Structure 1
Amino acid sequence: MEHTPASLAFLFACFPGVAIMKLVQFYQPGQGTGVGVVQGDTVLDLSENNPDIETVNDLIQIAGTVRMSISELVDRMMNHQDEAVTEYAYDDLDTVPDIAVPHLTLPVFAPEVWGFGVTYKRSAQIRDEDAQNTIYDQVYTSPRPEAFFKATTSRCSGPNAPIGVRSDSTLTATEPELAYVLGEEGEIIGYTLCNDVSAWDLEKENPLYLNQSKIYFGCCSFGPTLVTPDSIEDPYNIDISCQIIRGETTIFEGQTNTSQLARRFEELNEYLYRDNPIPPGTLVSTGTGIMVPNELSLVDGDIVVISCPEIGTLSNPVMQL
């Protein structure tokens, strides 16, 4: 049986209300990872006066133990601060990772990352054109969704960190997606943006090469923030945009809206958890509705920028492996 840390006993005191919020993880030189609460253009250091909270993973574990939502837990912490907390400018943290300066990291250290594919009609159409068969259209309309293991934390990149192009791929593409993080009971505890970087040429050569297409160093980035569900009015009405910048030229721009999703998250979770133990903190990426033309495959030095109003902007440079 897990026990609530003594320093968090105040959580059962009088509670003034639930805050709507977005969270980040950030690196502090000499201190390691901390959790921040984004308020406007400012990030408040939640970890400074809460030594039990070094990561969002800690929040997930404690929230499960005391049976609160992440919002309730963080709101109580913020309202019971006895001392002033350090504030950072968000723009100062949103910088290239450097151990000498504070910077954003992955918003959660996901023990597993899972992906779902062909959840948008546009994705099914484009993939079928390339494959010259109907396997993608079939999975789009089938009861069972396409699910695949995508990454572990060590294979993922946070904001402003490089994403990878496999050394044996000549057609690697960005796949901008809405993603969510799972809690102790399988509930969605937050939303973020994900870039499911994929070596399309390997997958097109043979569907059995899907794992090699999907899983390698730098194959996934996500962030920059983790937005709690109570701050998302409708997760099925979120605008997502993507840009690919090469040198000083924007070579691609695309947009989609999650209203085009053909499957609900409850359905995805039903298949994900079926006979399959999923650890808390797992990231689930829900598929892409933005398809980049084959002739605009990623090359070393490109910058991929994925944005949505609710979550922010995830930017990553491309690195040839």
Structure 2
Amino acid sequence: MKLVTFDHAGKTQPGVLKGDSIVSLAPAGLPTGRHGDLLEILHGGKQAMDAVRAAASAPDAVTIPLDAVRLRAPVLQPGKIIGIGLNYIDHCREANLQVPEVPVLFAKFPSSVVGPDDDIVFSRKICSEVDYEVELGVVIGTKAHKIGEAEALDHVAGYSIAHDVSARDLQFREAKQWDHGKSIDTFCPWGPYLATPEDIPDPQNLDLRLFLNGQELQTSNTKNMIFSVARLVSFISQSITLEPGDLIVTGTPFGVGFSRNPPIYLKDGDECVLEISGLGRLRNKVREID
């Protein structure tokens, strides 16, 4: 099942993507919360997800053509966005950094979230070395606190594409923390939908690709992750309680811009297209402001 948040007729609402149309969940009486997104449904757990499935297959379901809506990020303001650094060996090598013994965590602030087709916006007065990173996004479905690795995936609501846009000049200038360079407004595009686990039975066998202006710059598979999704969820939960709607951005593979010779950084008018098998395509243009 592919869950979405979308705008239609001046209203933000949750839905289920089916081919070229969306089944609106608002008429079924499912909770939409103050933002109109999927967050309240995720908080509803299994009971709410069962209701979603029933609503999506109901004969009187309200269906809207996909080209008549604007897709948003599946959760507009996650309670937490936890990034994972250096989670692919080839990326560690290109960054000339040691392979970590435990997951490297950093934060991306919820205000950095944008959705499909929204612009990535930055000012050169703030940063000029803006890099791209395709990553698998993992969304928590049920509260996870000090859980074991064997049960970790039971706490996952689904998977999505995430773009960990990074201001390298800020990141490297403030080397003891990465949050600033990772959390600029618009620096966390994600979507276009949240695929539930029955659609992604093995999150450790997904192809990732990133194209910049049509040129493929990153390609890998999640089987190359140093720490698996299950390991990450379990590890984080030992010290940080994970709540429904929290987003884990699981790391990027080889091919980022700062490691190239010469470096490739995002500039005004660029178009980034990210693909992960089973999770569709995330497209965003770049816009520089004064």
CA offset digits 1:252-291 (Å, max 9, x no partner): 4331111111111222123322332333201101001142
Aligned to 2:44: 62
In the alignment of these two chains, the number of paired residues is 270
Secondary structure of the 1:207 match is coil
Aligned to 2:149: none
Q: What does residue 52 of structure 2 align with?
A: 74
Letter aligned with residue 22 of structure 1: K
Contact 1:202 1:212 in 2 (8 A): yes
Q: In the alignment, residue 170 of structure 1 is paired with which amino acid?
A: S
Q: Determine which structure has the larger helix proportion and give its number.
A: 1
Give the secondary structure class of the aligned counterpart of 1:48. helix
Spell out, residue by residue over 1:152-184, the C-alpha distance to the aligned partner (whole angstroms, 9 max, x if none).
Answer: 1x3211000011335332211111000110023
Per-residue deviation, residues 215-273 of structure 1 (Å, max 9, x unmatched) = 2111111000100011113111111111111xxxx344331111111111222123322
Structure with greater Cα Rg: 1
Q: Which residue of 52, 59, 62 corresponds with 2:31?
A: 52
Determine if the alignment matches structure 1 residue 257 to structure 2 residue 221: yes
1:42 has 2:21 as partner:
yes
Residues 3-42 of structure 1 correspond to what in structure 2 (within 5 A)?
Answer: 21-30=1-10, 32-42=11-21
User: How far, CA to CA, are the matches of 1:193 and 1:51 in structure 2?
Assistant: 25
1:87 aligns with 2:63: yes
Q: Higher relative contact order by CA 8 Å / sep ≥ 6: 1 or 2?
A: 2
SS where residue 193 of structure 2 aligns? Answer: strand
Kept in 1, the 8 Å contact 2:209–2:275? The answer is yes
Query: Residue type of the partner of 1:85?
Result: A
Alpha-carbon distance in 2 for matches of 1:157, 1:111: 15
Contact 1:303 1:316 in 2 (8 A): yes
Amino acid paired to 1:56: L
Q: Which residue of 2 aligns with 1:184?
A: 142
Residue 98 of structure 2 corresponds to residue 137 of structure 1: yes
In the aligned structure 2, how far is the partner of 1:61 from the partner of 1:183? 7
Instruction: Answer whether contact 1:182 1:281 (CA < 8 A) is retained.
Output: yes
Q: Give 1:226's aligned residue.
A: 194
TM-score normalised per structure 1? 0.78
1:206 CA displacement? 4.5
**1:148 correspondence with 2:130:** no
Give the SS at the match of 2:244.
Answer: coil
Gapped regions of structure 2 (runs ≥ 5)? 145-154
Rate the CA distance shift 1:138–1:309 in 2: closer, same or farther, 3 A: closer
| Contact 2:139–2:157 (CA under 8 A) maintained in structure 1 | yes
**1:201: how far off?**
2.4
> What residue in structure 1 maps to residue 114 of structure 2?
157
**Equivalent of 2:91 in 97, 113, 123:** 123
Q: How does 1:273-292 map to 2 (within 5 A)?
A: 273-292=237-256
Kindly report which structure 2 residues correspond to 1:201-220, keeping only aligned pairs within 5 A, or say none: 201-220=169-188
Report the residue type matching 2:41 in the other structure: L
Give the direction of change, closer, same or farther, for the CA distance of 1:195–1:49 in structure 2 (3 Å limit): same
Structure 1 stretches of 4+ moved >6 Å = none
Cα pair 1:165 1:298 within 8 Å, conserved: no
Does 1:196 pair with 2:154?
A: no
**One-letter amino acid matched to 1:278:** L
TM-score by length of 2: 0.86
Q: CA deviation at 1:41?
A: 2.1
Deviation at 1:200, TM superposition (A): 1.5
1:169 matched to 2:145: no
Between 217-226 and 293-302, report the one with greater CA deviation.
293-302
The CA RMSD measured in Å over matched residues stands at 2.0
Percent of aligned positions that are identical: 26
